[in-house]
Structure 1
């Protein structure tokens, strides 16, 4: 992760302008990056710059760097991967779009159909060349690790992401090339692109999706087992008529439970039978016991429907919520897809 210094956003207005930065990707994920910089008296933001594992790409404004002005960076992984989107972020809130975008001087993200994300500050040597990493520290093995992770996302039997092209990886590549009807094994960048496209097609609808047909705004929490222990997390905000994919991996069982509230009046989801811990704002609770002792409230969760081909959808209607408010304080901040 990129180390950042917490600082107020208005400092940008006092600094002269910057030049393009080099973004290097030493992770096993295809990364999409957005950059922010000062433009006149406002902050301009632009995205997305796509960077394959093992690549370096120049992005941002091409302006002389003698001034020493920093850039702002937010990066996310491609949506191709099982387990959801990964982020490389900081503390400066700016607006981003779901696809290619540019924005300047925007303060109300939601009104323009944009989302708010935290940007990291790039100064000094990181201003000229910043390296995105993950805990495994792949370094010059990032490209091969990226191929392995994408093979895994397409359903190949890849058990370890280590950046070493062993027999299992080589066999999985050969099977993918054969099944995709490619005339030969492509060069790594071309192979990465083909694998990403296949993974996006395969995983576009997998996982758990929650839909809100109540006519009011709602917020939801999920509970599931992780490493033999239960955890609950939330909240995901659901606008009227909207859906959110809250779990991105392929589902094999019904062992996920959901709780929700209508935000106007805090009316809780009815019909729940399994009790888990909840909090009034964005949270992650490990364990389902002794909620009060750990500073949480409790709520009764419903089990999700039986998954079909790796996916399940739970739709809320007005009849799914109690008439009386829940005994939990006002909510909620939005959540991220897992």
Structure 2
């Protein structure tokens, strides 16, 4: 006489195996790529970003990033090679800036265009260039180096403190650079 125990064990085992394989498939999906910024300073930092969008140049902000935390500035695979960032230490003062000028304002903003910022009621702010080297995922760390702000890129802790290192010296210092994809 068959007690049904082996059949029940086989069904339970099959169900657990299918559930485990389903879990592996869920974890095997590719991770989403992003442009992230991490605050490795002791103070709250506010960050704004600019890039060439479908409608032309666009700047937006602010992402507040507490000490030791990261924020996603652009979600998904990066579609452009160049992005432009401006960050300010909300408590200690100082900024991570550059010589590529875009429009900003004190409140949350999305601004199209980089021309005539002051005439349009915005501030004219210098952003530094981030060359993602056509990668789909990029993380920057804002750090303080001997009291001065520094930016560390994703490659081997490379120190990108000098914005001139980030901007091609032969290129015009305006966002007229053509993005290569």
Classify the TM-score, shorter chain: 0.5 to 0.7
Does 2:113 correspond to 1:287? yes
Query: Quick check: 2:80–2:134 contact (8 Å CA) kept in 1?
Result: no
Question: Size of the alignment, in residue pairs?
Answer: 126
Query: Higher strand fraction: Structure 1 or Structure 2?
Result: 2
Q: How does 1:306-325 map to 2 (within 5 A)?
A: 306-307=132-133, 309-319=135-145, 321=149
* Equivalent position of 2:12 in the other structure: none
Query: Quick check: 2:81–2:135 contact (8 Å CA) kept in 1?
Result: no
- Give the Cα–Cα distance (whole angstroms) in 1 for the partners of residues 65 and 57 of structure 2: 24
Q: How does 1:185-196 map to 2 (within 5 A)?
A: none
* Equivalent position of 2:159 in the other structure: none
Give a deviation string over 1:262-283, Cα, whole Å, max 9, x none: 001442214x121101111111
299, 305, 322: which one aligns with 2:125: 299
Question: Structure 1 length as normaliser, TM-score?
Answer: 0.34
Does 2:57 correspond to 1:230? yes
Q: How does 1:257-276 map to 2 (within 5 A)?
A: 257-270=84-97, 272-276=98-102
- Give the Cα–Cα distance (whole angstroms) in 2 for the partners of residues 301 and 250 of structure 1: 22
- Can you give the 5+ residue segments of structure 2 that lack an aligned partner in the other structure? 1-21, 151-181
Instruction: Note the C-alpha offset of 1:252.
Output: 4.3
Query: Quick check: 1:275–1:301 contact (8 Å CA) kept in 2?
Result: yes
Give a deviation string over 1:131-186, Cα, whole Å, max 9, x none: xxxxxxxxxxxxxxxxxxxxxxxxxxxxxxxxxxxxxxxxxxxxxxxxxxxxxxxx
Over the residues paired in the alignment, what is the CA RMSD in angstroms?
A: 2.6
* Equivalent position of 1:203 in the other structure: 31
Instruction: Note the C-alpha offset of 1:228.
Output: 4.4
81, 84, 97: which one aligns with 1:254: 81
- Give the Cα–Cα distance (whole angstroms) in 1 for the partners of residues 127 and 119 of structure 2: 20
Shift in CA distance, 293/197, structure 1 to aligned 2, threshold 3 Å: farther
Higher RCO structure, 1 or 2 (CA under 8 Å, sep 6+) = 2
Q: Considering only CA atoms, is the larger Rg found in Structure 1 or Structure 2?
A: 2
- Give the Cα–Cα distance (whole angstroms) in 1 for the partners of residues 114 and 54 of structure 2: 14
Instruction: Note the C-alpha offset of 1:245.
Output: 1.1
Does 2:10 correspond to 1:218? no
Q: How does 1:1-338 map to 2 (within 5 A)?
A: 197=26, 201-204=29-32, 206-270=33-97, 272-307=98-133, 309-319=135-145, 321=149
